[in-house]
Structure 1
C-alpha cells in the first residue's frame, strides 16, 4: 500500500469518528491545513523522480478530494443533527401563539378620512415643525404680546426661547412665505398646550389647519367648504351652524357647530371647529417677512379654519375620554380594528 493510501484511510477513519464540529475542524487542519500532512506531500513532489511524479500526483489529488468530501459530509451530518435536535425540543401539543393583526389607531383613521375629503376639494398637504418661534406662532398671526395664549401658563416654552406650537396655524404662515398666491392647503399635525389633562383636554392634541387664498374669497366660500366637509364626515343629514366668535388672526371669525341624528348627542349642537376670513394684518406680516407685496390684502383674500382631530374622533366614534387615545389599551383599540 502506498503511504498516501494509508494516509487517506487514517484521515477518513478520524473524520468519521469526529464527535463534534471542533474535532472535525482539528482533523481538517491536520490533513488539509497549510501545514497538514496532505499539503506536505505537495512539497515532497518536488523531490520525486520525473517518472514518479505523474503517478504520485494523481494519487495525491484523489486523496485530497476524498478527505475534502468526507469532511463536507461529516459537517452536513452535524448541521442536520442540530436542526433535528432543535425540532425535538418543540412540544407540538402546546397551544400556539396567535399573531395579532394590526389596525390603524382611531386618530389616524380620523386624520386619513379628513385628508381624503379635503383632497377631493382640491387641498394640498403642507407641513411644518412642531418646535416653533414666537413670530410664526403668535406675532405673524396678529396675536399681541399681552394675549393670554402667550403666557407660560398656557404655552410650552423651551430654554432657547422657542416653543412647542400651540396650533398648526403656524404652517399657513410658512406656506405663504414659501410661495405666492393662490394657495389651497391643509396642515395636519400635533399641537401642544399647558392644559390640565382630563376627559376632554390633553397637553398634546391633533389638528388640521386649512388655508385658502385667492381673489374674491368670501365667507360664503368658507361656509360652503366646511358644510361639505362636515356632511361628508358625519352624514348627509348633518346640520351645520356658524356662530360669531373672536380669533386674532381672522376677521370675521366663526365657530362651527354641527348636529346629526347619526351622532349619539342627537339634536344637540356640538362645537367642532374655529374659522374665519384671514385678517389683513396676517397678510401684511407675511409680506414684511417676504420683502414684497405678494399677499396684498387689497387684492387677495382668504379663509382659514382649524379642526381638532381628537374632538372630531370623540364625536364620531362616541369616545367619552380623550385620554383613551394615548393609553394603548388593546380593549379600546380593538374596537376600531
Structure 2
C-alpha cells in the first residue's frame, strides 16, 4: 500500500527524469562542508511517441533510452529516484492528532484517502509525511497524503528495472522541481525570499508553470505548448525529417532564413504563452504580481527569449541553473553544463532526494 514518495534516503542515488522526448539523469555528491557537487549528468533522446501525456506507451523505447543515458553517465551507481507527473498524483493536506503511533496514523490516512480518492484503495499506492504542527493548534499536526494509481508507478519502475536499475524512490515532478527551484533561486535577489517567482518549464510537448511565494509552491498548471512545435516548423519549412530537425535545432546548420522566419516567431509565441500564464495566475489567485520569472526546460536557453519575456512581462527574467553554486566534475564542460542546466531541473531535484 505504502511507497516511497517521501521516505528519506542517504545512500547514492541518481535522479531520472522520464519525459516526452528524452530521459535525463543527474548524479550529485556532497562535499565535506555539505555543498553539492555535480558528479555527472546525461541526456538520451527518444521518440516522442514513447511517452504521451505523461504515460509510458512505448516501454521498450523508454528502456532503451534509460540504458543509453545510464551508459553516458559513466557511473556504477544503479539506485535511482523517479518522478510521476503531478497529474498522475492526488495530494491532500489533512490535520491529525499529534503524537500518534505510525501504524495508527497509517490507518487514519487510509480512512482519509477513502474519502477523496476516486479509485478502490487496492488499485492505488499511498504515502504520507508529517509536515509540522497544525496552524493555530500545537496539539495537532499537518499531514500531506499522496496517492497514485499502481499502474502509473509500475510503468516507470518497469522502465528503470528493464534497464538494470533499482528504484529507491518514486517522487512527484512538482516536488522535484520545488527542490531544484530552491537551488536555482540563489541567483535571484535575496534568493527569492519574500517574493513571488514563476518557474516556466518548457518541455517537448507541454509547458509546466509553477509559482512560488517565499519559497512555497502556491500555484501550478500545464499548457499544451513545447519545443516540439519548433521541430515541426523546421521540418515543414526546410523539408527535413523529424530526427534531422531535432539535430539541427540543437547543433545548427540551418539556412540563414531560420532565425527570422522560424525561430523568432517561435520565441514570440512562447513569450505569449508565458504572458498568458502570468495573467491567469494574477487573475485567479490573491497575488497580483510576479517579481521574477525562471525559464527552465530545453527551450530556456534560446537566444533572446529571456530578454523578450522580461520586456513583455516587466518581471526580472533569468535562465534557471540549479548547479550555479555547485562544484562541477572536471570532466564536464562548464559552458555545456550552463546550456543544459535548465532542462535538468526535475532530474536534479530527484538526485537531491539522497540528501533529504
Give the structure-1-normalised TM-score.
0.20
Give the structure-2-normalised TM-score.
0.20
Choose 1 or 2 for highest CA Rg: 1
Q: Which has the higher strand share?
A: 2
